[in-house]
């Protein structure tokens, strides 16, 4: 994600208690999240899923809970990725328990879920494997959240994690292998 000085300033201003910043924050974050949400749920065949619903959910989790202290854009993106993972996992659990949201939302989420699961298999199994992975390799978990759940590109991940692109490439391969290994071990 390109550093945008304005948005960076915004985070500073919020931390410093600037009242106007809140409105601007929503605008900036909303667009940002839409971009992210639009990307994560895209199938390689060009199938797209524009997850407005997901954006709103992420927004609620990240900002309505009172937590506003994001150091910078990178920090924010990392939190958003985690939130997206959480939302999807929660939805999947709710779906299993037959507790479903409203109609239009449900369709959207079902599509989202399926698009994720096309690439990962059962999300709940993936979540459990991620939890196990976190114990030994928290950096791999973070990368998977960013890349898989938040759909960040290699360079965006590099920026969010503060490492060079080549490292991300290597780490991504390792993360994939570890996670797959974890998933298979569970089977």
Partner 1 sequence: MTDPRQTMIRSLFERALELPPHERLAFLLQQCGGDDALRREIQMLLDSVPTDDFLDPPAVVRVALPDQIGPWAIRGELGRGNHPVCLAQRDDQVVALKVLALATASQTLQQRFLRDAASAQRLQHPHIVAVKDSGSTTEHAWIAMDLIDGHDLARELKLQLEDAPTVPRLLPDFGSPDWYRAVARICEQAASALGCAHEGGIWHRDVKPQNLLLDRQGNVLLTDFGVARDTHATRLTRTGELAGTLHYMSPEQAQQVHGQDLDHRTDLWSLGVVLYELLTLDVPYRGDTAVAVLTAIQRGRPQPIQRRNPDAPAALAAICARAMAFHRDDRYPSAAAMAADLRRFLVGQPPAPDRGARFRPLLRHVRQHRRRYSMLGGAAAIAMAAWAAAPSVLASGRQSQVRLLEEVCAPQSWESLSTTELRLAVVAADQLAGARITAAEGAVVAAFSDRLMKHLAAGKDRVRNLLRPDAPGSPEKNQQEAARLASALVTVAPDDDELRSLLPHDLDSAAVMFVVSQSDRGPPAATRSLHIAAIDTATGSRTPGPQVPARTGTHFVKPGLWRFSIVEAGKPVREYTRMLREPATRHRIDAAGEPAVDPVPMIAFGSGRLTMPAEAPWRPLAEPIEVAPFEIDQHEVSNRQFLRFVDATGSPIDRQWFDLIRADAELLDRPAVFVTFAAAQAYAEWVGKRLPTWPEWLVACGGCTKEQPFPWGTLGPDGLRGAVTGSFRPSLPWALALEEYRAHTRNVTDGAGSNREGGPLHLLGNVAEWTETPAWSPDLSEHRGTWTLLEASHLVAGRNWALSSVPRYDSAAAYAEISEITLSHCNHGRGFRCARSLP
**Which parts of this chain interact with partner 1 (CB under 8 A)?**
34-35, 38-40, 42-53, 103-105, 107-108, 111-112, 114, 117-122, 125, 136-138, 144, 147-148, 151-153, 170, 173-174, 176-181, 184
Q: Tell me, what DSSP letter sits at residue 149?
A: I
Cβ proximity of 62 and 83 under 8 Å? yes
CB of 167 to partner 1, least distance (A): 10
Q: Which is nearer to partner 1, 15 or 132 (CB)?
A: 132
Of residues 52 and 86, the one with the C-beta less far from partner 1: 52
Q: Which residue, among 173, 187, 122, has the nearest Cα to 143 in the 3D structure?
A: 173
- The least distance separating partner 1 from the CB of residue 179, rounded to whole angstroms, comes to 7
Give the shortest CB-105-to-partner 1 separation in angstroms: 8
User: Taking the C-alpha atoms of 44, 49, 54 and 59 in order, what is their torsion angle to the nearest 10 degrees?
Assistant: 80
Minimum distance from CB of 28 to partner 1 (Å)? 15
Q: Is residue 77 within 8 Å of 1, Cβ to Cβ?
A: yes
Contact 38, 103 (CB under 8 A): no
């Amino acid at each position: 994600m390109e550093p945008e000085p304005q948005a960076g300033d915004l985070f500073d201003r919020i931390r410093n208690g600037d009242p106007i910043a809140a409105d601007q924050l929503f605008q900036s974050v909303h667009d940002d999240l839409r971009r992210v949400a639009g990307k994560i749920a895209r199938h390689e065949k060009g199938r797209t899923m524009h997850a407005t619903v997901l954006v709103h959910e992420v927004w609620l989790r990240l900002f309505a809970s009172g937590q506003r202290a994001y150091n910078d854009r990178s920090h924010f993106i990392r939190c958003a990725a985690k939130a997206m993972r959480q939302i999807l996992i929660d939805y999947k659990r709710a779906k299993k328990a037959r507790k479903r949201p409203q109609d239009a939302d449900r369709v959207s989420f079902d599509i989202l879920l399926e698009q994720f699961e096309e690439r990962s298999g059962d999300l709940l199994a993936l979540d459990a494997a991620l939890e196990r992975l976190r114990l030994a390799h928290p950096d791999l978990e973070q990368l998977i959240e960013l890349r898989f759940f938040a759909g960040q590109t290699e360079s965006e991940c590099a920026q969010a994690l503060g490492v060079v692109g080549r490292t991300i490439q290597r780490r991504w391969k390792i993360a994939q292998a570890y996670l797959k290994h974890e998933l298979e071990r569970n089977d």
